[in-house]
Structure 1
Amino acid sequence: MTAGTVVLLRHARTAYNASLRLQGQIDIPLDDVGRWQAAEGGAALASSHRATRIVSSDLGRARETADAYADALGGASVAADARLRERGFGEWEGLTGAELHERWPEEYAAWRLGAEPTGAGAETKAAVAARTAEAVTEHAADLDEDATLVVVSHGAAISLAVTALLGLDPSTWRGLVGMHNVHWSHLHRAGEEAHPAWRLVAHNVGAGYPLDRWQAGPDWNLEPGPKSA
């Protein structure tokens, strides 16, 4: 048996997301907007997908997001799995695109076109896809076909996991748009002996806010205060 539904949820916003820094495996917490996103997105996900099991990356930003979703379900438990961590980017972690362009101009340009930044000590896409897909498959394997597995992870890690689960080559296939914070992908188990074993039902689904409001956080709708005399 295996779970019939898998949902992969990206973590909420951090200060590095807000400043467009490449996070990789640096372990930093959610910022104030991120905590709001986690609560709003967790409630939205709980209204459409009630997890039988929740598994999270062991990095703090993912675990905080998983806990918010678990709270929306009434206090479900969350297991951690380091295989669900974000792709490691070596020396590039913590830097902005402008800084990467300045220090590694040729390799950065190639990366933007889909190449591997191996000179920086980054994990390959194939390695990340293998570990994340393995984790998802294992956690789903002992659940009933009517069960739902919710996995809380990271942008690149989720895109690569989904690519692998769909039977595509993660080293070359780039057909998925990057996910926004606290947005999710929904996969459904295909028939017995089907190839690929999973089908993509939805991708980059969120709480329904316009993106500019989602990124602005809970104060987006506040009217300007009265001017002082």
Structure 2
Amino acid sequence: VYHRRILILLRHGRTPNNAQARLQGQIDSPLDEVGFQQSAVVGKALRERWPVDRVVTSSRRRTRQTARAAGFGDVPTTIDDRWMEIDFGDYDDRRISEVMTELGAAWASDISYTPPGGESMADLHERVGEAVAAITEEAATSNVVVVTHATPVKSAVAWLLGGTAEMIMRLRVSLASITAFGPVAHGLVLTDFNWCPARHIG
């Protein structure tokens, strides 16, 4: 049975930085070949399950390329940088294995910690909350796909489930994955989390 979804969150496909396990934050990375393949597969799976009325992306190439490769080229699309990835500042482009133990521990103890030249998890959570409020109100009767990044997906889940910014640190979101919320009598329900139709690619 088909149920209209208020909000569908799609993380972008793979980039060279993802393949090399490097942080990319707000670096304007493009998709790599695997990322385009993942996007095509996840887009097909998504469109087979739900009609898509509107698409929102960040301004980063990897989200815009994911939207096009997913088959949303003819769907009305807008850019909203409240859905941009967190700014890792001086940590960007460094290997995740070198920095995430330190950075993760800092955020686990203080969500307002700001890496040098970057953005705090608390600040990201605030801007994503504004974006979630706007899009759930606007999309109450339509299916909106937000093509975004890992941390904004986790932040949106925290907002929509009534959690706090600390919840971001307890979630994992895969590349080219779908997270969806649908309307019920008492509000919103999480219907899909980290669904990966393209898991076999890359």
Q: TM-score, normalised by structure 1?
A: 0.77
Instruction: Report matched runs for 1:149-168 at 5 Å.
Output: 149-168=144-163
Instruction: Report matched runs for 1:6-85 at 5 Å.
Output: 6-71=7-72, 75-85=74-84
Cα displacement (A) at 1:177: 3.2
Cα displacement (A) at 1:75: 2.2
Contact 2:151 2:168 in 1 (8 A): no
Does structure 1 residue 148 correspond to structure 2 residue 147? Answer: no
Contact 1:23 1:93 in 2 (8 A): yes
Letter of the 1:56 counterpart: T
* Counterpart in the other structure of 2:196: 206
* Counterpart in the other structure of 1:110: 105
* Counterpart in the other structure of 2:120: 124
Contact 2:12 2:149 in 1 (8 A): yes
Alignment coverage as a number of residue pairs? 198
Cα displacement (A) at 1:175: 7.5
* Counterpart in the other structure of 2:172: 178
Change (3 A) 1:66 1:206: same
Contact 1:9 1:152 in 2 (8 A): yes
Change (3 A) 1:114 1:35: farther
Contact 1:54 1:78 in 2 (8 A): yes
**Bigger shift: 115-124 or 42-51?**
115-124
Q: Which segments of 5 or more consecutive residues in structure 2 lack a partner in the other structure? A: none
Cα displacement (A) at 1:47: 0.8
| In 2: Cα distance, 1:186 partner to 1:127 partner | 24
Q: Which segments of 5 or more consecutive residues in structure 1 lack a partner in the other structure? A: 216-229
Task: Calculate percent identity across the aligned residue pairs.
Answer: 31
* Counterpart in the other structure of 1:95: 94
Q: TM-score, normalised by structure 2?
A: 0.86
